[in-house]
């Protein structure tokens, strides 16, 4: 039996099903204002179900308290500093939430006549144009639901391009620093993955690409800035090599937050890029989505974009389905519209100048972090970084302290841990992405915490092994979760 | 500058700390030959007030399902969302967090997903559910790939009464192997998939049969009969549900021989939002769990033996298995799953049943009203849930246009997807359609067809 | 860390013990230690065949997954089903209880390039 409020905050809350009380309900639907018919006269009994055993039966206030308590055990960007590398956990502006909830956006059916959705279509059309301008691409589709979905879209277009020319290609080159989604998406699109190593300084060299690029290679898939936080400075030369052999350069745009207004990927030889609106364009991550992963392409690939496209003729916007060379579609309807509203709102609020400033300050913050921490944590590459930097646990390892221990201890100091153990090329990686929305005072307090933890690693490593100490649950037994899987409540 | 707190003093402090003489100096990582020479050609930034005004204006250039009586369905359903849903998902601890990689500071999200997985299992009567996928269409595509992995067979048989955009999505995902996808034509009398037609289309190489129930025309399928046919050929049965409210009344996939249940849970807690984000779900028999795509949350304990939740079976996923992962999915639709869970919890067992009945009765009332109109036929003979197909004597496009003038969105024109259904309209009714709206719809369409 | 002298080893971290023309195969102490807590193992069917240097199964920990490569070609005569239910045995007793498969060796030539305990130990030192 839990005594609510015994610790001031309620740290125990059963599963909702364990609060069931037969016959109780929260918000019942409106009474039916048409005559009720005999069920079995409408649907044969053999097609009807008995109830769903164990389905919730709780009052409205219990449901509200349940989810409110759950929320209190979560750490979000609004809770505190969340330097999760590669995820761009920047502030999610409240005005975006407000405008995305306007009835004129939420209460639109995807199949309502286009004439009755001109505002929505215009917003999408303009957002496409903004994203083209920012990325230097010729056309953008807003359809994909997330970054990985966008990757698949881009790779399918590349595959279709070669198939169309009756010269299908079978390989995609991917650097060893890539996100796991890159090889997974390539495989899904039917390609064989050719890995390539970055050179000594953490970036790709033209010669490494030259050595593997051939006429069966459809694309080079890279991330720029890469996952080490370094700018692929040989990108133009690399792109030239790929293009010379008739291939495409795909850029994973997960790290676009570092280059808005500073460089256009299209100018650097990139042919396809997916943009993660939930990273760069401030839309919230939602505890794991929904995101949105628009894809930009150069002219050659435009015919392959998913259908429908949005057309503007005069002042009228319409959806165009007649696309003979399209790859098809990746989902029903047009994409995650309400996420587009938020991203549109962000771009309009920032303007071109604001976006550039965001990228510059993101780089400044990351370099500040790198310089202030490089004597405490081992730096993977001591090079000027872009919007994130990668450390490791090399210095603490002699006390038997690992990246995981330090990550967990940071929680006790009130911070969300950075991304850990990624990229794989840096053993014990600690990837810190502060973003531009954090103040120097916040960065200073994080830096101070890391230094304290380093001191603790020397003086009392056990403390770190036991961390976190202050959370609702202590270190979670993930081995047991996998060995004795319990994937649902069974009562 | 909005959202960027740095003063000039702050910038100077950073430059000093990193030993750079200027911002330009610090940007050295980005070689000047690669730098953009001019400013981005974007509109000037706005104050929050100006921005709110512009967005309000844009939104008012749309007409909503509140301003019009809407009878549109076809994979996106207009339902009432209780106030608790938006109130709770607006707690920023939920919506400003990310994938729960660090379980000690993500127990809220993790427990909520674990409960969501349980709810999906209860709705579908399946053993295991994942944490969500993007939408119904991509969930079907993932299920098809999963069935091919499990069976080691290639061919995929889709019912042509599966949502056309879902079929197109499957073909897109199959890309190089799309030759392996074929369709079994629906019965033009019953508006559903006939077991004998499926039997004729099956081969020993068929990995799976995909049927939607209720199907795209609104008709209920005889899933049990279809299950027998596909299982006799050692293929898997994938049942698709995109009007999830039907789970409140209809025998669930898990009781009719389904191996993988997928679809869209948009109907619970997620606004129409002009097509997205919606909520792809997937549930399966437990023996298939290692072949499932997407995140899965499991229950375990912490080091003190206290109940805790964490992501599990991660080795299926792209960040570990890379090109051999079960899918490339990473970000899913977590917040939509939370909306769905809150809505389901607040409805409860009684509310879910009542909501489903309400939808059935509304659709039946509309159907009988339309049936009585001269010039309107109910196109198919099968029982339906809250959606059905009508055939009109006049040009259906003209009819729908004329209805718009009366502030009625009368349904979805089927000709676009099925050329042979050139006078057909797909019509849905939910608890959002009052008796008054339905009477008005019937009477207006009656006048038009006179 | 232990490496029995009478076993042979592969660079993919399997061990093999040969008795007559039957080889017993498992993963090394070093392999289980690098993987961490093993939670799942997938093995071939008894009566199936395995091919030298080709994957015959999969072993998974919470955060890693690794193919199992066969050191020899031949028919699988026995499979250790017990470790499928208790994969923790792989961490606890990699050379004993947690043997994985027994193979009837089709060609003795397959044994030629396998590493001795000493060579294997040298190899993992270099790999670190």
The answer to whether the Cβ–Cβ distance between C39 and A479 falls below 8 Å is yes
CA distances from B208 to B149, B222, B226, B235 (A): 11, 17, 11, 5
**What's the rounded mean pLDDT across residues B135-150?**
98
For A67, phi and psi rounded to 5 degrees? -75, -30
Exposure string of A39-69, with b = 16+ CB inside 10 Å and e = fewer, is eeebbeeebebeebebbbbbbbebbbbbbbb
The alpha-carbon gap from B133 to the nearest alpha carbon of chain C, in Å, equals: 22
Query: What pLDDT digit, counting tens, does each position of A377-426 carry?
Result: 999 999 999 999 999 999 999 999 999 999 999 999 999 999 999 998 89
Contacts of A479 in chain C (CB under 8 A): 36-37, 39, 61-62
- Angstrom distance (rounded) from CA B65 to CA A24: 31
The alpha-carbon gap from C10 to the nearest alpha carbon of chain A, in Å, equals: 23
List the structure tokens of B134: 């993007």
Contacts of A483 in chain C (CB under 8 A): 37, 39, 87-88
List the structure tokens of A446: 């994080």
SS3 of C57, please? strand
Q: Are strands B307-311 and B376-378 parallel, antiparallel or unpaired?
A: unpaired
SS3 content of chain A, % helix, strand, coil (to 5): 40, 10, 45
Query: What pLDDT digit, counting tens, does each position of B285-336 carry?
Result: 999 999 999 999 999 999 999 999 999 999 998 888 888 899 999 989 999 9
- Provide CB contacts within 8 A for A174, sequence distance 6+: A182, A183, A186, A193, A194, A195, A196, A220, A221, A222
List the structure tokens of A129: 């144009």
Contacts of A407 in chain C (CB under 8 A): none
List the structure tokens of A277: 């609106």
How does DSSP classify residue C114? P
User: How many CB pairs below 8 Å do chains B and C form together?
Assistant: 14
The answer to whether the Cβ–Cβ distance between C87 and A421 falls below 8 Å is no
- pTM value > 0.95: yes
Residue A208 exposure: Cα atoms within 13 Å on the Cβ side? 19
The answer to whether the Cβ–Cβ distance between C39 and A421 falls below 8 Å is no
Q: Do domains A95-349 and A359-479 have the same CATH topology?
A: no
- Provide CB contacts within 8 A for A119, sequence distance 6+: A104, B57, B58, B59, B60, B61, B62
DSSP letters spanning B208-233: EEEEESS-TTSBPP-HHHHHHHHHHT
As a whole number of Å, the CA-based R_g of chain B is: 25
Contacts of B321 in chain C (CB under 8 A): 65
Say which CATH class B83-343 falls into.
alpha beta
The answer to whether the Cβ–Cβ distance between A482 and C62 falls below 8 Å is yes
Contacts of C60 in chain A (CB under 8 A): 482
Residue B403 exposure: Cα atoms within 13 Å on the Cβ side? 30
The answer to whether the Cβ–Cβ distance between B325 and A345 falls below 8 Å is no
C-beta of residue B428 within 8 angstroms of C-beta of residue B73:
yes
Query: What pLDDT digit, counting tens, does each position of B389-433 carry?
Result: 999 999 999 999 999 999 999 999 999 999 999 999 999 999 999
Token look-up 């191996």 returns B259
- Provide CB contacts within 8 A for C10, sequence distance 6+: C16, C69, C71, C114, C115
**Full strand arrangement of the beta sheet holding C38-42:** C38-42, C55-61, C65-69
C-beta of residue A381 within 8 angstroms of C-beta of residue A404:
no
* Helices H / strands E in chain A, number of each: 15, 13
- Angstrom distance (rounded) from CA A10 to CA A472: 10
Say which CATH class A95-349 falls into.
alpha beta
* Predicted complex ipTM: 0.98
Contacts of C40 in chain A (CB under 8 A): 482
Q: Is the pLDDT of residue A118 over 60?
A: yes
- Angstrom distance (rounded) from CA A260 to CA B296: 35
Chains touching chain B through at least 3 C-beta pairs below 8 angstroms are: A, C
**What's the rounded mean pLDDT across residues B4-22?**
96
Probe site for chain C from A482, A484, A486 (most C CB atoms < 10 A): A482
Task: Kindly give the interhelix angle for A337-373 and B8-18, rounded to the nearest 10 degrees.
Answer: 50
Confidence at residue A9, expressed as pLDDT on a 0 to 100 scale = 62
Nearest to C65 by CA among B317, A392, B286: B317
C-beta of residue B297 within 8 angstroms of C-beta of residue A357:
no
Q: Is the pLDDT of residue C116 over 90?
A: yes
Is the CA virtual torsion C88, C94, C97, C103 positive or negative? positive
List the structure tokens of C25: 């195969």
Query: What pLDDT digit, counting tens, does each position of B192-239 carry?
Result: 999 999 999 999 999 999 999 999 999 999 999 999 999 999 999 999
**A2 — pLDDT class (breaks 50, 70, 90):** very low
Contacts of A429 in chain C (CB under 8 A): none
**A51 — pLDDT class (breaks 50, 70, 90):** confident
B298 forms beta bridges with: B310
Q: Is the pLDDT of residue B39 over 90?
A: yes
Maximum Cα interatomic distance, chain B, rounded to a whole number of Å: 84
CA distances from A117 to A111, B51, B114, B396 (A): 10, 20, 37, 21
Query: What pLDDT digit, counting tens, does each position of A331-354 carry?
Result: 999 999 999 999 999 999 999 999
C-beta of residue A152 within 8 angstroms of C-beta of residue A185:
yes
Query: What pLDDT digit, counting tens, does each position of B92-132 carry?
Result: 999 999 999 999 999 999 999 999 999 999 999 999 999 99
The answer to whether the Cβ–Cβ distance between B59 and A56 falls below 8 Å is no
Probe site for chain B from A135, A255, A259, A481 (most B CB atoms < 10 A): A481
C-beta of residue A123 within 8 angstroms of C-beta of residue A251:
no
Residue of B nearest to C67 (CA): B321
- Angstrom distance (rounded) from CA B116 to CA B130: 9
The answer to whether the Cβ–Cβ distance between B1 and A36 falls below 8 Å is no
Contacts of B320 in chain C (CB under 8 A): 63-65
Is the CA virtual torsion B50, B51, B52, B54 positive or negative? positive
Contacts of C40 in chain B (CB under 8 A): 290, 315
- Provide CB contacts within 8 A for A275, sequence distance 6+: A131, A134, A135, A140, A150, A253, A256, A281, A293, A294, A295, A296
- Provide CB contacts within 8 A for B152, sequence distance 6+: none
SS3 of A288, please? coil
The answer to whether the Cβ–Cβ distance between C63 and B321 falls below 8 Å is no
Residue of C nearest to B322 (CA): C65
The answer to whether the Cβ–Cβ distance between A78 and B364 falls below 8 Å is no
The answer to whether the Cβ–Cβ distance between B353 and A439 falls below 8 Å is no
CATH number belonging to domain A359-479: 3.90.1150.10
C-beta of residue A323 within 8 angstroms of C-beta of residue A160:
no
List the structure tokens of A145: 């639901």
**A6 — pLDDT class (breaks 50, 70, 90):** very low
Domain ranges of chain B: 69-80+349-449, 83-343
Confidence at residue A8, expressed as pLDDT on a 0 to 100 scale = 56
Angle at B28 between CA B23 and CA B30, to 5 degrees: 110
The answer to whether the Cβ–Cβ distance between A479 and C87 falls below 8 Å is no
Contacts of A179 in chain B (CB under 8 A): 318-319, 330
- Angstrom distance (rounded) from CA C92 to CA C100: 14
DSSP letters spanning A136-154: T-SEEE---SSHHHHHHHH
Token look-up 């993790």 returns B110
- Angstrom distance (rounded) from CA A66 to CA A15: 8
CB-based contact, A97 to chain B, within 8 Å: yes
How does DSSP classify residue A300? G
The minimal CB distance from B351 to the residues A25, A51, A472 is found for: A25
Confidence at residue A408, expressed as pLDDT on a 0 to 100 scale = 97
For A285, phi and psi rounded to 5 degrees? -85, -15
Contacts of A475 in chain C (CB under 8 A): none
Q: What residues 184-203 of chain A have any CB closer than 8 A to a CB of chain B? A: 184-190, 193
**What is the H or E stretch that residue A379 is in?**
strand A378-379
- Angstrom distance (rounded) from CA B300 to CA B385: 40
- Angstrom distance (rounded) from CA C103 to CA A24: 61
- Angstrom distance (rounded) from CA B435 to CA A336: 32
The alpha-carbon gap from A120 to the nearest alpha carbon of chain C, in Å, equals: 43
Confidence at residue A3, expressed as pLDDT on a 0 to 100 scale = 47
**What's the rounded mean pLDDT across residues A249-262?**
97
The minimal CB distance from A483 to the residues C36, C63, C87 is found for: C87
Confidence at residue C69, expressed as pLDDT on a 0 to 100 scale = 95
Maximum Cα interatomic distance, chain A, rounded to a whole number of Å: 77
Confidence at residue C127, expressed as pLDDT on a 0 to 100 scale = 76
Q: Could you tell me how many residues make up chain A?
A: 491
The alpha-carbon gap from A470 to the nearest alpha carbon of chain B, in Å, equals: 9
- Angstrom distance (rounded) from CA B156 to CA B174: 10
Probe site for chain C from B311, B315, B316, B326 (most C CB atoms < 10 A): B315
C-beta of residue B223 within 8 angstroms of C-beta of residue B257:
yes
**What's the rounded mean pLDDT across residues A170-197?**
95
Say which CATH class B69-80+349-449 falls into.
alpha beta
CB-based contact, B315 to chain C, within 8 Å: yes
- Angstrom distance (rounded) from CA B375 to CA B407: 21
Query: What pLDDT digit, counting tens, does each position of C4-62 carry?
Result: 999 999 999 999 999 999 999 999 999 999 999 999 999 999 999 999 999 999 999 98
A175 forms beta bridges with: A196
**Full strand arrangement of the beta sheet holding A378-379:** A378-379, A389-392, A429-432, A419-420
The alpha-carbon gap from B234 to the nearest alpha carbon of chain A, in Å, equals: 24
Q: Is the pLDDT of residue A4 over 60?
A: no
Chains touching chain A through at least 3 C-beta pairs below 8 angstroms are: B, C
Q: Could you tell me how many residues make up chain B?
A: 450
**What's the rounded mean pLDDT across residues B255-283?**
98
The alpha-carbon gap from C84 to the nearest alpha carbon of chain B, in Å, equals: 14
Angle at A109 between CA A92 and CA B348, to 5 degrees: 75
Domain ranges of chain C: 8-107
How does DSSP classify residue B251? P
The minimal CB distance from A411 to the residues B42, B102, B350 is found for: B102
- Topology given in CATH for the domain delimited by C8-107: OB fold (Dihydrolipoamide Acetyltransferase, E2P) (2.40.50)
Is the CA virtual torsion A259, A260, A264, A270 positive or negative? positive
């Amino acid at each position: 039996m839990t005594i609510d409020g015994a610790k001031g905050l309620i740290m125990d809350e059963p599963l909702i099903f364990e609060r069931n009380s037969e016959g109780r309900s929260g918000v019942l639907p409106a009474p039916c204002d048409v005559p009720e018919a005999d069920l079995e006269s409408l649907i044969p009994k053999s097609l009807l179900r008995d109830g769903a055993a164990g389905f919730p039966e709780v009052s409205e206030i219990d449901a509200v308290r349940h989810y409110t308590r759950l929320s209190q055990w979560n750490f979000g960007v609004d809770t505190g500093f969340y330097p999760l590398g590669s995820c761009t956990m920047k502030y999610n502006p409240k005005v975006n939430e407000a405008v995305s909830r306007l009835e004129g956006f939420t209460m639109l059916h995807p199949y309502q006549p286009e004439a009755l959705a001109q505002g929505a279509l215009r917003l999408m059309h303009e957002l496409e144009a903004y994203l083209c301008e920012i990325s230097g691409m010729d056309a953008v589709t807003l359809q994909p639901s997330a970054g990985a979905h966008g990757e698949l879209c881009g790779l399918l277009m590349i595959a279709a391009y070669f198939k169309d020319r009756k010269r299908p290609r079978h390989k995609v080159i991917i650097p060893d620093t890539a996100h796991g989604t890159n090889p997974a998406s390539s495989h899904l699109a039917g390609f064989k993955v050719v890995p390539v190593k970055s050179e000594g300084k953490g970036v790709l060299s033209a010669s490494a690409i030259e050595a593997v690029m051939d006429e069966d290679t459809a694309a080079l898939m890279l991330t720029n800035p890469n996952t080490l936080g370094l700018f692929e400075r040989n990108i133009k030369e690399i792109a030239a090599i790929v293009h010379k052999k008739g291939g495409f350069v795909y850029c994973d745009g997960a790290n676009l937050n570092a280059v808005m207004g500073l460089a256009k990927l299209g100018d650097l030889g990139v042919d396809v890029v997916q943009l993660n609106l939930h990273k760069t364009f401030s839309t919230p991550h939602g505890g794991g989505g929904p995101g949105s992963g628009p894809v930009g392409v150069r002219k050659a690939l435009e015919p392959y974009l998913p259908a429908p496209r949005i057309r503007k003729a005069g002042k009228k916007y319409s959806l165009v389905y007649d696309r003979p060379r399209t790859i098809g579609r990746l989902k029903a309807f047009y994409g995650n519209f309400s996420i587009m509203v938020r991203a549109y709102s962000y771009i309009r609020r920032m303007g071109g100048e604001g976006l550039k400033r965001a990228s510059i300050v993101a780089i400044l913050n990351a370099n500040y972090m790198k310089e202030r921490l490089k004597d405490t944590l081992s730096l993977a590459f001591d090079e000027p970084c872009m919007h994130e930097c990668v450390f490791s646990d090399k210095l603490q390892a002699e006390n038997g302290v690992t990246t995981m221990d330090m990550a967990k201890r940071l929680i006790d100091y009130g911070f969300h841990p950075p991304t850990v153990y990624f990229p794989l090329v840096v053993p014990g990686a600690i990837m810190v992405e502060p973003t531009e929305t954090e103040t120097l005072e916040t960065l200073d307090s994080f830096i101070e915490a890391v230094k304290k933890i380093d001191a603790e690693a020397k003086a009392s490593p056990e403390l770190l092994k036991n961390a976190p100490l202050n959370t609702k649950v202590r270190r979670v037994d993930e081995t047991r979760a996998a060995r004795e899987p319990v994937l649902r409540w069974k009562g | 500058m909005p959202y960027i707190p740095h003063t000039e003093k702050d910038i100077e402090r950073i430059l000093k700390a990193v030993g750079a003489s200027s911002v330009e100096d610090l940007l050295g990582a980005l070689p000047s030959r690669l730098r953009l020479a001019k400013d981005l050609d974007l509109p000037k930034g706005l104050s929050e007030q100006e921005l709110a005004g512009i967005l309000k204006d844009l939104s008012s250039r749309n007409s909503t399902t509140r301003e019009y009586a809407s009878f549109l369905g076809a994979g996106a359903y207009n339902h009432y969302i209780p106030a608790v849903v938006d109130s709770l998902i607006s707690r920023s601890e939920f919506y400003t967090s990310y994938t729960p990689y660090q379980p000690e500071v993500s127990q809220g999200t993790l427990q909520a997903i674990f409960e969501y997985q349980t709810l999906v299992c209860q709705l579908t009567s399946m053993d295991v559910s994942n944490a969500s996928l993007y939408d119904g269409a991509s969930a079907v595509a993932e299920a098809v790939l999963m069935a091919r992995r499990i069976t080691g067979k290639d061919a995929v048989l889709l019912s042509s009464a599966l949502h056309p955009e879902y079929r197109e999505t499957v073909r897109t995902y199959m890309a190089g192997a799309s030759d392996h996808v074929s369709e079994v034509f629906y019965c033009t009398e019953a508006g559903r998939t006939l077991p004998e037609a499926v039997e004729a289309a099956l081969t020993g190489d068929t990995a799976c049969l995909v049927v939607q129930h209720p199907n795209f025309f609104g008709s209920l399928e005889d899933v049990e009969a279809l299950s027998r046919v596909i299982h006799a050929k050692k293929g898997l049965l994938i049942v698709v549900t995109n009007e999830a409210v039907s789970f409140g009344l209809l025998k669930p996939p898990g009781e009719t021989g389904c191996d993988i249940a997928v679809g869209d849970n948009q109907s619970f807690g997620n606004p129409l939002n002009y097509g997205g984000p919606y909520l792809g779900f997937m549930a399966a028999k437990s023996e298939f769990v290692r072949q499932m795509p997407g995140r899965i949350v499991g229950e375990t304990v912490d080091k003190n033996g206290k109940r805790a939740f964490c992501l599990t079976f991660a080795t299926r996923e792209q960040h570990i298995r890379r090109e051999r992962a079960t899918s490339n999915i990473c970000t899913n639709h977590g917040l939509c799953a939370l909306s769905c869970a809150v809505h389901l919890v607040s409805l409860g067992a009684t509310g879910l049943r009542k909501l489903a009945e309400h939808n059935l009765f509304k659709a039946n009332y509309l159907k009988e009203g339309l049936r009585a109109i001269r010039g309107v036929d109910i196109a198919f003979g099968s029982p339906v849930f809250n959606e059905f197909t009508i055939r009109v004597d006049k040009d259906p496009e003209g009819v729908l246009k004329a209805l718009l003038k009366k502030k009625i969105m009368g349904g979805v024109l089927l000709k676009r997807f099925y050329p042979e259904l050139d006078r057909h309209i797909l019509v849905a009714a939910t608890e959002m359609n009052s008796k008054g709206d339905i009477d008005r719809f019937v009477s207006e369409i009656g006048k038009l067809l006179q | 860390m232990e490496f029995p002298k009478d076993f042979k080893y592969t660079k993919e971290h399997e061990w093999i013990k040969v008795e007559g023309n039957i080889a017993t195969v498992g993963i090394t102490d070093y392999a289980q230690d690098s993987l961490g807590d093993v939670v799942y193992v997938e093995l071939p069917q008894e009566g199936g065949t395995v091919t030298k240097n080709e994957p015959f199964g999969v072993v998974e920990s919470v955060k890693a997954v690794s193919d199992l490569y066969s050191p020899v070609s031949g028919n699988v005569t026995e499979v250790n089903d017990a470790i499928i239910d208790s994969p923790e045995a792989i961490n606890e007793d990699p050379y004993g209880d947690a043997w994985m498969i027994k193979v009837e060796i089709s060609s003795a030539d397959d044994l030629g390039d396998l590493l001795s305990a000493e060579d294997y130990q040298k190899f993992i030192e270099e790999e670190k």
